[in-house]
Amino acid sequence: MRIGIFVCFCGSNIGATVDVDKVAQEALKFPGVVFTQTNLYTCSEPGQAQITKAIKEHNLTRVLVASCSPRVHQNTFMKTVETVDLNPYLFDMANIREHVSWIHDDKEKATQKAIELIRMAAAKVYRHNELFPKYFDLNKNVIIIGGGIAGIQAALDIADGGRKVTLIERQSSIGGRMAQLDKTFPTIDCSACILSPKMVDAGMHENINLFTLSEVIKVEGSIGNFKVTIRKKPRYIIEKNCTSCGECEKVCPVDCVNEYEAGLATRKAISRMFTQAVPSAYNINFKGKAPCRSTCPANVPAQGYIALISEGKYLEALKLHREENPFPSICGRACMHPCEESCTRNLVDDPVAIMSLKRFIADFELKLGEIPLPEMDEKKDKKVAIVGSGPAGLTAAYFLAKKGYGVKIFESLPVTGGMLRVGIPTYRLPPEILDIEIDVVKRMGVEIKTNHPVSSYDEVYDLKEKEGFGAVFLATGAHQDKKLDCEGEFLKGVIPGIAFLRDVALSKITKLDGKVAVVGGGNVAIDSARTALRLGAKEVSIFYRRSNKEMPALDEEVEETIEEGISINYLTAPVKIEGKNGKAQKLVLIKNELGKPDSSGRRRPVPIKGSEFEYDVDYIIVTIGQDPDIAYLQGKKRTCNLTPWNTVKLQREAVLAVNDDGIFAGGDLVLGPATLTEAIGHGKLAADI
């Protein structure tokens, strides 16, 4: 290794502040350096001549120039060393003018800094390897994006010059806006008469390749070597076989909006953009739903945001998700994800992990800081009251506020969130995650009043008649536990499941000792059992009257429950509860066998005579179902109509209207115990009315 270093005075630019001679002397001590020299102006012809002379005389294998900015003279010096057969990439520069002399006035310190910069540059050039230019053939083909008159004319001109042209148009035909015009200036001639011949020429030109119904999604490379990725949408017909006879259009029974006619007319679902379209092949306007979206009660386009995730567009994916469901973080943790059950990937191996992907992008956004608010319409002078701050109420509030309505939520609990807060354990849905997404609703201008129950149906009407709300949406959920209806149910230590989870969430229950029995097989049973274990229970057992195949809880939740050491006893049902001094001590159970299916489609549990046994307990948590709280739906003046299942009876189900007085209802209050996304779907529907 033989490095030569040339230190430039640059007149007084460097020499006035840096001791150039001292720098050159010190540089001679660096590893691999065999020659140093100072120059008044290294970039001058004499300076360059000294470099070439030194390379020859001292057989230098690396050259370093310490002078001004490499942006000014690096190419000059690389050409200089190349004249004496030294690879130009074995050259480097140290900037001691802009980085040292021009910004310092202490000569001693400036000199020392220059020495250090040159030392590091010398170490760098020591490691340089020879590089050689490569030559590539240029692709002279051209892509033109946009098939309007400008794109068509450009394509024809270039194609006539002998170049291959790809013309990309997102519509089903080229022609663009000019095809929609009547006359054109200055000839006031028919627009189609001018455009159509050029369209035909472009379609028939041997050097022009048309890509209609296509969009550019990625451009890579550089001039002469671009690589363009095009997404071409299907026509849903075999284009080469289409003769444009129009017979299909005549018999098509489906009418669609005609975009070519600016929505002023209709067209058939199979049609051409216009009569002179190029290509002239027909196109089916197919707008089917993906199975995952069809199954989602909230109509979330899972296939859409997953496609965006696959391209790394995480924030765009969240924006798309929030167009239908404003709570990706919540649903990424607590959703029943029916979309995965309908995922056609199931036919191959396993479904796409839709819920996990949703949680991933939601967590990604949380790391970036505060969630941005959606675009909101101008404020309206109308306001809406919502009773209940659960998922249905919060969703309705979000979309109503987005449309500019004033929204006020009345919540009977001291906390917001409804079942999200008091029905889902914190290990599944951390309260800080819930707070973040509720905070978005609040920042949109929604007012939430906690500890404010609406106690009668008369008060519901008072919200409209006395407080000036234009409409009222009832979304109070299903917070009432079903009764076990067996002896000893009211002994101390027997706790309803929904009430248990609520009291834990509100810190009314902070500890459980001893043995706990959980009766039931749904997600509430699983949540209650795992919560009891986390509160210190010594032993937790679940008793379910059917087999594991009929158990309604999610399979993954059941697996995690067993992994935590909780036993699940299938085909076992409670008979009675025995106690002492008013406290439950024993749960008497009986073994079952499965009979014929009941109204739910599941096989009915049939008790086996003589199979009774006892289980010692300290607490029994009953989780056999839940109902809406309908007590407040009665009033002295008015009463809400109910179904035989004690849910609200809607006058018009399509719009969730209870009556014609502007009272609406949704979520569990209408559906009975339902899922998170069903409640969100109802909340969104209520806001769309």
Whether 252 has a pLDDT exceeding 80, the answer reads no
pLDDT for 630-644, tens place per residue?
999 998 999 999 999
Regarding whether 454 and 502 lie in a shared domain, the answer is no
The Cα-based distances of 465 to 440, 459, 470, 635, 686 in angstroms read 30, 10, 9, 15, 20
Regarding whether 299 and 345 lie in a shared domain, the answer is yes
Is 373 a domain residue?
Answer: no
Query: Measured between alpha carbons, how far is 442 from 155 in angstroms, rounded to an integer?
Result: 54
Regarding whether 283 and 312 lie in a shared domain, the answer is no
Tell me phi and psi for residue 419, to 5 degrees: -65, -25
How does DSSP classify residue 543? Answer: E
Give the mean model confidence (pLDDT) for residues 132-150: 91
Is 377 a domain residue?
Answer: no
Is 588 a domain residue?
Answer: yes
Residue 20: predicted pLDDT: 94
pLDDT for 189-209, tens place per residue?
888 888 999 999 999 999 999
CB 476 within 8 A of CB 629: yes
Residue 253: predicted pLDDT: 66
Helix segments in 311-430, DSSP class H: 314-322, 328-334, 338-342, 354-368, 391-402, 419-422
Query: Measured between alpha carbons, how far is 532 from 516 in angstroms, rounded to an integer?
Result: 7
Domain boundary among 368, 397, 413: 368
Quote the tokens at residue 129.
């390897």
Residue 179: predicted pLDDT: 87
Amino acid letter at 323? Answer: E
CATH number of domain containing 362: 1.10.1060.10
Whether 9 has a pLDDT exceeding 90, the answer reads yes
Is 184 a domain residue?
Answer: yes
Regarding whether 510 and 410 lie in a shared domain, the answer is no
Regarding whether 109 and 81 lie in a shared domain, the answer is yes
Total domains, the chain: 5
Residue identified by tokens 């050097």 is 207
Is 376 a domain residue?
Answer: no
Regarding whether 570 and 498 lie in a shared domain, the answer is yes
Task: Calculate ∠ Cα 384-668-427, nearest 5°.
Answer: 100
pLDDT for 274-308, tens place per residue?
989 999 999 988 777 889 999 999 999 998 899 88
Is 152 a domain residue?
Answer: yes
pLDDT for 353-391, tens place per residue?
999 999 999 999 999 988 999 999 999 999 999 999 999
CATH number of domain containing 13: 3.40.50
Reply yes or no: is the peptide bond before residue 374 cis, omega within 30 of 0: no
The mean of the pLDDT values for the chain is 94
Regarding whether 146 and 282 lie in a shared domain, the answer is yes
CATH number of domain containing 570: 3.50.50.60
Residue 532: predicted pLDDT: 97
* Structure confidence at residue 673 as a pLDDT band (50, 70, 90): very high
pLDDT for 402-421, tens place per residue?
999 999 999 999 999 999 99
Structural domain of residue 83, as residue ranges? 3-126
**Model confidence, pTM:** 0.62
Regarding whether 178 and 122 lie in a shared domain, the answer is no
Is 318 a domain residue?
Answer: yes
Whether 159 has a pLDDT exceeding 70, the answer reads yes
Identify the burial level of 683 via C-beta atoms within 10 angstroms of its C-beta, where 0-12 means exposed, 13-18 middle and 19 or more buried: buried
Domain boundary among 61, 92, 126: 126
pLDDT for 255-270, tens place per residue?
888 888 888 899 988 9
pLDDT for 422-457, tens place per residue?
999 999 999 999 999 999 999 999 999 999 999 999
CB 680 within 8 A of CB 688: no
Regarding whether 107 and 42 lie in a shared domain, the answer is yes
pLDDT for 572-617, tens place per residue?
999 999 999 999 999 999 999 999 988 778 889 999 999 999 999 9
Regarding whether 502 and 427 lie in a shared domain, the answer is no
Helix segments in 353-449, DSSP class H: 354-368, 391-402, 419-422, 431-443
Residue 259: predicted pLDDT: 86
Is 602 a domain residue?
Answer: yes
Regarding whether 244 and 150 lie in a shared domain, the answer is yes
Query: Measured between alpha carbons, how far is 627 from 476 in angstroms, rounded to an integer?
Result: 11
Whether 8 has a pLDDT exceeding 90, the answer reads yes
Regarding whether 165 and 100 lie in a shared domain, the answer is no
Domain boundary among 313, 339, 368: 368
Residue 229: predicted pLDDT: 95
CATH number of domain containing 252: 3.50.50
